[in-house]
Structure 1
Amino acid sequence: MKRSTAATRAVEVTVRRNPVVGWLADRSVNVKGLLAAGITALVALGVGALSVGRMSDLSDDLAITKTVHVESLKHLGDLRGGLSDMYAGLLLHSHGDRDPALRTQGRKDVATADAAVDAALAKYQELVATGPQGGHAHTGGVAERRAAMEACAKAIADYRLLRDTVDFGEEPPAGFTPPPVEGISAAFAEVMPRLFGSLAELRSAEDAAATAMADAAAEKYREARAVTIAALLLGLTIAAAVGFAVSRMMARQLRGTSAALDAVATGDLTHPAEVRSSDELGRMAAAVNEARDGIRRTVETLAAGSRTLGDSSQRLTGVTGRIATSAQGAADQANVVATAAGDVSNNVQSVAAGSEQMRSSIREIAQNAQDAARVAADAVGAAEVTNKTVAKLGESSAEIDNVVKAITSIAEQTNLLALNATIEAARAGESGKGFAVVASEVKDLAQETARATEDISRRVEAIQSDTVKAVDTIGEIGRIIARINDYQLTIAAAVEEQTTTAGEMSRSVTEAAGGASDIAANIRGVAASAETTTTELTEAERTAAELARLATDLQSAVGRFRV
């Protein structure tokens, strides 16, 4: 893959600098970052190694503490446990007067406990005799523990001599004189405090030794912490100094480049960027200077071109203005002609539409006249039928009058019968009261029927009178409708002739309207072409004005730069 020219060309440093600082400044940004990171890593490694060494020493001290103190306490615990087992066996032996087996078992337990005490005492003596290992200085309390251990061993030996000779009845060894009977208690009273006191001194010596070891370990921890913190601070100071130097170099180069770019942003092309190194930032500053020079040359070219563009756009504006004026005059004349032709076409079309409407109206009148003639004929027939029907109605009303008379006669007879029934009921006395009531109701009904038949008679007489008048009126209507029918036939014939004449006139006017429409359409086409030409010339004039404005804006924009 090819590297860019900016990355491979030699960069000329434009400022004076220290040789060492210059060497570091010329290294790439990656190398500077790796250098700062490497120094930080070395500091971390050094501090880590120092901390690991110190922690190793603390671990060794903890191991010695476990060996010297924890193991010592374990052996002391075994010693105390053996003494307790010995006392238990001795107690069992003392209760064996009635049971020899208990006495024997007690003696065995005492022997076993003595062996455990001797083993614990030997291990403790060996641990105290060897002292701390590994060259460490945890030697506090060694002499005290040895003295306490020797006193404890002497007290155990003295106690065993008394126990074996007094309690077990064994022969005293050479050089040992058993106490008299009265002195046994005093002898045990003297040896037992020494035994328990030596054990307490051993425990105190162990505690003192453990305290000394803990104090020594704490002192080592404080020393290791102080050394680690000092090394860490020193390393961080070195790393911070290197990082600050690297960042200061980069920041100064970036500030110079940023100032040059800010000047370009404000239109100042006379402020170059300082090249302080030959690394990526220095090459960037050199590239900024080259870009600034290129922009300056471009601005100069744009300034000359904008002036030329302004002059050309002004000339173009004058030419298009004159052409637009001429085209606008032609368009106005064409519009006047188009308007007149349109008015003629509209008038002819209005006449054509009026003739067509008149033709339609005449055709509709003829149709209505024919329909009216048919309706008049139908009305004559209907009048005749109605006349006959009304005559039949008169005959029917006469028949109704006969029926009414018959009903009236029946009602009179019923009334007489009811009167006779009333008289007979009166003669019958009390037994005829019910029949008298019925006869009275029949009488009332007969009288009501008589009144109704009288009313019907009056109404039938009125119907007969109206029927005679209706027959006369319908006859007169029939004669009038016959005359109307004659008039309608005459009108229909005249309207048919007018329909033919109106059709011919409508066709002539329609043809004239078509010719006028074609003329108006052609004139409108001419006017539209003139309008289009005017519009395009106006657009050209506006474009020329925009070019002039663009040239002015371009000159203003170029004027912002100082070259």
Structure 2
Amino acid sequence: MPMFKGLGWRKGLPLWWSCRLNADLEEDVADSFEGIADTRMDLLQSWTAEYWDHLDRLSGQLSAMRRGSSIPSGDNQAAWEHLFAGTRSRAADFSEIFLLNANDKVIFSTCEQHRGQDYCEGALIMDGIRYSREIAEGRKCLFGPYRDPWTLTIGPSSSSFHDQMTLLFIVPVVEDGVWCGALCGRVPNDVVGDLIQRESGHVYPDSGDNYLFMAKPGLQTHIAPGTALSRSRFEDRTFTHGENLKDGVTTDWGTVSVKEHTELEIIFTDPATGQLHPGVARTIRNGSNLFVGFPGYSDYRHIPVIGKGVTFQLPHCPDLWGMMCEGDLEEVYRIRSMKWTPFRHLLGWVTMLGVLGGALGYLLAGHVGKLHEALIIGAFNLLMGLVMIASLHTKVSNRVVHQLRRLNRFIRINAEGKGDLTQRLEPASFDNNETRELSKWVNNMIDSLEGIMLQVKLASADVLSSQRLLSDSTFATAGATERVSGKVSDMLLSIRSQLQDIDIAKNVAGEMRETLRMLENKASEQIGIAQGELVRIGDKMVQISDKVAHTHGTIEAFMQTANEIRNVLHVIEEISAQTQLLALNASIEAARVGEQGRGFAVVAAEIRKLADLTRQSTEEVHGIVRNIYRSAQDATTTMAEGTRVVGEGNELVAAASDILRSAGADESLKTQIIDEVVILMEKIASVSKDNRSISKEVESNVRELQAGFMNVRHTSGHVEAITAFLQQLVGQFQLTEKRRR
């Protein structure tokens, strides 16, 4: 009893006997579970990386498009639709791709109903969004599984099962260190369950179950370790006893069932103890656990199971996940080897031969001689041996050969390259020996092959479509490159012409510099002479000023003398008037005297004439003096004006000297400017030469680019032909168009 560890004789003994009969298969069973676990884990890792790549490419395309407009508008709406739809068609497991802005509003989505949705703080999606923007540069986040009603509304993507459970890929959109939103891809969580289950090719179809569980929460700390993260036999009736978790699984400790989803509603515990069952507990504790021996461990279905558990972290997922790959101990070891079948068959015949031989010997004893008895028994054994061989050949060898031929025919059809990959062997139609196991593995191989061929078919179609777009783009780019090459050639001609003009300008600037230097030297000499003449003119002006001042003083003295002359003339006029009066008096007195005074009267008359002549002369002198005085006044005014003009002349001479000095300085400045211009022209010439060299290199690169485009076009056509040939090869196989895992 203890050796069966609580299973009891009824359950424990048959299982123990099966394990003992197949003890030599334990290593193969371990390898099988190791392979299943590693393959499924690698599949999840590569699938996740692939879908990150899809979003990264879309994010890069949107980044280039968003430079002109951060949101889709009438001008670029069609381009956004094309990009999102293209990514959605290539990444078929996405049920939706949408873009959030900085305010957590859906500004674009492949689902029109979802556009404009505002996510408030309490929305479950916000846990992933906050994690993504916790750091300045943002970080990707694989968030989930979590319940999202939108997933149910939008509908399934590639899985036949569908509910609210969701995985969300979040790619941050950051510009200049500022969070601008997130690009998100929605995947129904049942897609992940299909990835690891792959029901059609399961090695243990009756009981094999691969499921995910929470090993160590990093972001979703509300999910306890051991909680289911993937659908596990929820609706399909493929448990050993034909049960599922939706209707309820009966155990000795009660019924285990879930309401809506396997995910998050069930924790993998031992129904007897209420603790995590050993496979899950040891996997979480050790990171990996393999258990394939008797008596296994009990799962929540009260059935002994064995298998492999492993923990892993998907790219950009903050949580540590675990995966169990299990099978019922009874199914794994129910096989009976082909070597056991003939042994059991022969054992029965040998037993019967022994019994019949003994009975025949007993009947013949004492009735015939020993010789006859030996002959009869020998003939009987020979006959029974022949019957045993015929029976073995009919019931064992022929059946084994028939089943092997079935396997051989099935494999041969697919090995010829034109097989029907939609067909599967029926393991139940084979005996419970190596042929059944082989049929399971053949189904598994065909299923894998069909999945690969479907992937190749989809990929080749995608490559062919992309190749045609590349060809069109290459053709257009080649034309643009040719036009660019023509423009570059024109630019080179223009640069060469500019270089010639620059060389001429440089030479002219050099000649100008030399000419300016000569003019500067001559101007400096002329300026020196002019400055000397100005000094002399200044001296002369000073002398003139002195002379004018002296003349002005002389004229003023002359005017003073003229005034004195006028005074003298007044005196003479008075004397003339008195003389005339005296002559008149003398004439009167001479007339009075008579004859004696006649001579005196004559003298008096002459004196009166002289007085009149004096008066007339005095008047004439008065007029002359007045004219002289007036002229002296005019001369004085003119002298004053001349003095002012001489003063202005001195100022002009001083200004002229300053101007000449400035002119000398300006000539030096002009020469300096010309020198700088010449140096600048030399630099321009040097840069232009570099540009000419670079332009030649650009022209050469453009020509190489043209040649490269021609090669790309040739290669593109070659790749297109190869892709078409690949599609032709894939087309030789009949495939299930529905996506299968």
TM beyond 0.5:
no
- Structure with bigger helix share is 1
- State TM-score, norm by structure 2: 0.24
Question: What TM-score do you get using the length of structure 1 for normalisation?
Answer: 0.30
Q: Which has the higher strand share?
A: 2
